[in-house]
Amino acid sequence: MKKSLRNGVIAVLMMGVLALTGCGGSQAPAKDPAASGAGTEKVLKIGSAIEYAPFEFMDEKQNPVGFDIDLMNEIGKDMGYTVKFESSSFDGLVTAIGQGNYDAVISAMTITDDRSKSVLFSDPYFESSQIIAVKKGSDVKSEQDLIGKKVGVQQGTTGQEAVEGLSIDPKKFETIGDAINDMMIGGSDAVVADTPTLYYFIKQNPNMDIEIVSSNFPKEYFGIAFKLDNKELADQVNATLKKFMDNGKYNEIYKKWFNEDAPKF
């Protein structure tokens, strides 16, 4: 994953709450919930790197929006909870959920064996893959053409892993926006990131000289992350996800953000 798409070259500024103190409800959604004295309100505290459109980013009023945001809000609503989002850097989210700073994390996070050693993932809720963005006229036509080139990625993402799998030491950035900015000024030759994110950027910035290059990177699946011992909450979320897949709610949210029906996976 995980990211910033606003003001020309993906720069949705991260204006979300960064504090790790939080809100929670007096009625816990699961084991060891984040709690506050918020009366009887039931709250899920969700961590996310809110700078990765169209999954999570800030609108003009600095409210979190996006596919992940809508999906998590609907899940919480269906379960009887108010969802509160806190923004963090993507590469710190796995550690934060492991430390119990959040009830869950949703942030276009790919389910991997390595991450699964530290967090418990929900069932997959999104299918994606890595893809390459270049300036128009580039001689990069496939992932093999990246060898010997300077390639930008977001630090801690599977995009970084994909590039390193080609025996390339990528240029690592905190956000995808920073990586694309660097490419546009000639600091790198290409950027590797999630397919929906790069296509969304091009759609939002049609006058920029950027194009997508086909690649053969493998499919990936996003999951919602929980503490390893928080199976109770994970099971509740999985049940709600399945219901949304069956009753059309998931497809409704997907179509809102991607203008097509959700694929079967």
pLDDT in tens, the chain (265 residues): 554 444 443 333 333 333 333 333 333 444 544 444 445 789 999 999 999 999 999 999 999 999 999 999 999 999 999 999 999 999 999 999 999 999 999 999 999 999 999 999 999 999 999 999 999 999 999 999 999 999 999 999 999 999 999 999 999 999 888 999 999 999 999 999 999 999 998 888 888 899 999 899 999 999 999 999 999 999 999 999 999 999 999 999 999 999 999 998 7
Q: What does the alpha-carbon distance between residue 9 and residue 2 come to, in Å, rounded to a whole number? A: 16
Would you list the DSSP string of 132-169?
EEEETT-S--SGGGGTTS-EEEETTSHHHHHHHTTT--
Please write the tens of the pLDDT for every residue from 23-47. Answer: 333 334 445 444 444 457 899 999 9
- Whole-model pTM: value is 0.81
Q: What does the alpha-carbon distance between residue 103 and residue 27 come to, in Å, rounded to a whole number? A: 13
All domains in the chain, ordered by first residue: 128-219 (3.40.190.10)
Would you list the DSSP string of 228-246?
TT-HHHHHHHHHHHHHHHH
Torsion angle defined by CA atoms of residues 99, 103, 106 and 107, in that order, rounded to the nearest 10 degrees? -30
Neighbours of 127 (CB within 10 A): 15
Neighbours of 113 (CB within 10 A): 6
| CA Rg value for the chain | 18
Would you list the DSSP string of 86-140?
EE--GGGHHHHHHTTS-SEE-SSPBP-TTGGGTSEE-S--EEEEEEEEEETT-S-
Q: What does the alpha-carbon distance between residue 212 and residue 203 come to, in Å, rounded to a whole number? A: 11
Q: What does the alpha-carbon distance between residue 183 and residue 210 come to, in Å, rounded to a whole number? A: 10
H or E, element range at 211: strand 210-213
Nearest to 16 by CA among 57, 69, 71, 54: 57
Find the helix packing angle between 249-258 and 67-79, rounded to 10°: 160
